[in-house]
Each structure stands twice: as C-alpha cells, then as structure tokens.
Structure 1
Amino acid sequence: MAINAYGENVATYGTVADTTAAVENKTALGKDDFMKLLLVQLQYQDPTEPMDTEKILTQTSQLAALEASDNTKTALENLTKSLGNAQQFSTIAAIGKTADLGSDAIAHDKGSTSTFEVYFPNDIQQGVVDISDSNGNVIGSIDVGTNPSGVYSFDWDGMTTAGEAAESGIYHVSARYSDSNGNNQTTRLGAYPIESVRFDQGSTYVKVGSSYVPLDSVVEVY
C-alpha cells in the first residue's frame, strides 16, 4: 500500500507533497547582514549631520575583515574534510599487513564456553594453544593439529588441565607451534592480518579475523 507524505493511503487521499521546509538559522549574523545594516544606516542618516567618513571607513574595513574571516573558515573546513578523506583512504594501504589490537586477553565466565580467534602466520606442523591466568600460569590447552597458516577459531570449555572449571576472570591466550620446516614459532590472540577496510559514517573500520573493529582499536600495524 502506497502512502503520501502524511501517512495516508494514496488510493484514498491522493499524493500530497511534503511541505516541510528547513528553517533558516537566524541566530547568527553574516557579512551580508552587516552590509544591509550599513546601507540602512547610511540611508537614514541625518543629512545635516552625515556620518563621519572615518567611521564609514572603519565599518567598511570591519566588513572586509569579517568576509576574509568567513572565507578563511570555509577554506579550513574544506581542508579539514579533504585531509580526513585522504587519511581514511590511506588506510587501504594497510590491507595485507598485521594489526595488533594490543591485548591477548579474554573474559571468561565460569561454566560457559569462551570462543576466540588466533592467527598463525606460518603453516602448522603441530601446535598448542595455551590459556594462562593473570600470574602467567598455563591452566588449559587446546591442540591445534596440522593446518595451513591462517586465522582459526577455538572454543575453550573453561576446564583446566586439573579437570576443574576455571573461575570467572581474565585469561591470556598464546600459541606455540612448529612450522613446516620444523622451526619453533609463537603467536597470540590479538594480532591478525588486515583483510579489508570499511568506511561508515565518517569512521574507519578494519576487518581482522572474522570481525570489523574501529581503526582506533589498532595500536600497531606492521
């Protein structure tokens, strides 16, 4: 069912144009307003006591200064917008590089399963993901197996190596593995390759792992 600007059925009431108009801001005076005031002042001045020439020159110079200031403001606003756009699109060059989010921690609730992602920059011959407490003690581990390089998602059921449910709190995630050449490698949660860049309402987001995060969340790109 089609509706008009007033939310009425077009078939019954017909199409009605939306007459809502933007209200002009009258709270600020511009250079045109000052020019009108000067002309009105000259128009209604006393012929027997005309305005002093020096005063007219002063007001004219003030008008010129106001116009110059207005033009400078407009130029700076355009420059700021241009620089913002240039900064946004320069982020595209970061695609393919690694973004560090500055944290390897997860928040775990006792009795629940915590899901997280870890990036392995090299092929995995054999590896293990370690979950450590705030004191650096490894309390749980997940086998990685043999896999090519990439971002992998893991589910930790919260069970420790002692067979107990881990308490609610903050835990740290890292991984140790051997690559296809038998070299020992390490990685951790929080460092991922940048796969793409998205611009949304003036903000920049980068895709790391399976999620888009604000560019402000990235502490280092390498």
Structure 2
Amino acid sequence: MTSSSTTIGGNGTTVSNTPTDTMSATSLGGTSASDLQSTFLQLLVTQLQNQDPTNPVDSSQMTSQLAQISTVSGIAQLNTSLTSLSTQLMAGQQTQAASLIGENVLAPGNGVTVANGAATSFGVQLSSAVSNLTITVKNAAGTVVNTINAGAQSAGTVPFNWTPTDSAGNTLPDGTYTIGAQAVGSSGSTSSATVLSSAKVDSVIQQADGTPGLVLSNGSTVGLSQVASIYPGTTSSTTASTTN
C-alpha cells in the first residue's frame, strides 16, 4: 500500500493518509487459536460498547460468531492431542519391535533353507477356512520336488515343520527351496495362499513412514504388522501327507 501525507497549517504539521492496519498478526497479538479467541472477544466487546442503540447487534449473529471461534479453538486442541497420541503410539511400537530382537518370526516370504537334513519352518496365512490346502516345494532349478497335502484348514496362520524329503521319501540335499500354496475354498474355487517363511529378527530400523521395520536374518525387512507369528523355538507341526 502506497503511503501519503497531508500538510496542515503553516507550521508544517503532517498527517498520514494511510489507514492503520488493525487486522495484521502484530495488531491482533498473534495467530494461535487462543490469541485469536482473545482478540475476537476484545473486538466483540468493543462492538457492543459502540453499537448503534437504534440498531443493536443481532444476538443470533453474536452467538454464531462465538460458536465459530470456539470450534476453531477446539479443533486446534484436538489436533494437538492427536499428535501427542500418535507420538506415544509410535514410541510404543518401537519398544515392542525392539523386544523381538533375537526371536524367530513368521513373515511374508517363500524361502526355506535345508541344512544337515533339517529345514527351517514355514507357514501359510489363510483369510478364510479352506477344504484343502496343497503345498508345493521347488528346488533352485524350479522343479517340483515334493507336494504336501495338508487337508482342510481353518482361517488364520497355519505353521509347518517340514522334513526335507522328496516325493519318494529321499532326503533332499542342502540348499534353498521355494514354497508355494494353493487353497481350495468352500465353493470349490482354487486360489493362491500367502506363504510365510521363518527368520530371526536381527535388528529394528525406522522405515520411511516412521513405523518400525524388522530386519530379518534372511535379508528381508518387514513391518511389525506383517509378523504373523512369534516363537522362541520350534513351531507345532501341522500333520501333512506327501502326495506322490
């Protein structure tokens, strides 16, 4: 805004013609919800003191203005509370994740390691009950070496302890194998099921979205919510038969 002035009288007294900005943040005393509420009340009292007696302020408008400023203040307080709650929840998740270091977990993954005649545990996650669950085991070349008929299973996490043998019962050589799962639903339709692999939690990191991530011994990183099962030792075996 361009300022201007006017000279009054012969003594050189000048008066600025630029109107005073009474709505700036400095004039209002601040921009926080509490500052704005205090300034609003001051303006309201001044308005009431200087109202035209023949045309007083409409009481319904005054009530509406009071309700609006209270709403703004309430929203600001709610945002502060939610931010504090989110921070507390995040800290709790970090603590919970740190307590898993050294523990074995089942998390999304399809790899199984065979060493000295023993295989790492794995699992399957089912969103609903199935009439039949079939597990396929492939070697590093992609060849199916075994098929396991797990039968009907309830919804949830189904853990497996697998003796590493082929379809003829021969012990499989050491190495990494890939697990696949096919489920037959109650309607007879077949769909893929989520396979879970077993790994030890080596460390905890903070992910890009601020949530904790578990760094696993198999080299993958999963979120805390992706952990389907936690166990210090060996999971209970699910009875399964080998289909030749």
TM-score w.r.t. the length of structure 1 is: 0.47
Larger Rg: 2
The structure whose residues are more often strand, as a share, is 2
